[in-house]
Structure 1
């Protein structure tokens, strides 16, 4: 059974898919009422499932007329997208952010599921058994090398 976070994420992605501009504006309290949860649950979903690494830009306006605007960042130039990701992960990247980026690369069809699994294995904290922050720096160097190789084989 899926948890409430998965259900809310799926709902927001479906609403975004229906919107041709791939931008949605929501009121946190309205979504919370719809799913009978606390508004902080909506914050959790947005902060963990709609990150820049996953290809989303989130803006919020607080107050009575406040809203949360979620937009899907699209990039038609795959090489430019890879360059942007390489810049994003410098000088170090956590394991979770690396997973988020790999998920985005899968969604953008820049890598296959098999390639993603190989990358996950190479970037995992158990594979990179160095102390922090060295582990995150080594992960960045390995991931950057993989992305550069991918870029030149597009």
Structure 2
């Protein structure tokens, strides 16, 4: 069974797929009412599922007539990879964050499902535990950078 966050994400992506332009405007409170959840749940989905790493820009205007505008960026594979290496990985990378970055590569058709699974497995805590007894997040960051450089 899909989580509420998954359902909200799919709903927003569906709206974007049927939009006539590269952006959509939504109202946080209306979405929260539709899914019978708190507006903070909508914020969580927007923050985690519609981030720059995943090829989106989210603008928010608060107040009575407030809205959230979501843009789907036109992503060039090499530019996207270079941006991830430069802005998103850093010196340390959690497993969850690595999976989010890998999912953005899938979302933007930069890698395929098989490559996703290989990368995810190679960067898993289980795999890294076997070869590295120190800070796994440091080695994970270095490994993902090296994998991404191959794609450029």
Q: What is the TM-score normalised by the length of structure 2?
A: 0.86
Q: Give the Å deviation of 1:92.
A: 2.5
Name the residue aligned to 2:21: 21
What stretches of structure 1 of length at least 5 have no aligned partner?
Answer: none
Name the residue aligned to 2:4: 4
Q: Please tell me whether the aligned partners of residues 94 and 137 of structure 2 are also in contact (alpha carbons under 8 angstroms).
A: yes
Q: Give the Å deviation of 1:59.
A: 1.8
- Name the count of aligned residue pairs: 148
- What secondary structure is seen at the aligned counterpart in 1 of 2:81? helix
Name the residue aligned to 1:135: 136
Name the residue aligned to 1:67: 67
> In proportion to residue count, which structure has more helix?
2
Over 3 Å counting, the alpha-carbon distance change for 1:100 and 1:20 in structure 2 is farther
Q: What is the TM-score normalised by the length of structure 1?
A: 0.85
Instruction: Provide the alpha-carbon RMSD of the alignment.
Output: 1.7
Q: Deviations over 1:55-89 (max 9, x none)?
A: 222221222222112211222x3222211111121
Which structure 2 residues correspond to residues 1-154 of structure 1 after superposition, within 5 A?
1-75=1-75, 77-88=76-87, 89-129=89-129, 130-131=133-134, 134-151=135-152
- What secondary structure is seen at the aligned counterpart in 2 of 1:106? helix
CA distance in structure 2 between the aligned counterparts of 1:16 and 1:98, rounded to whole angstroms: 25
What stretches of structure 2 of length at least 5 have no aligned partner?
Answer: none
Q: Deviations over 1:25-80 (max 9, x none)?
A: 211111112222222221222122212222222221222222112211222x3222
Superposed structure 1 runs of 4+ greater than 3 Å apart: none
CA distance in structure 2 between the aligned counterparts of 1:138 and 1:112, rounded to whole angstroms: 23
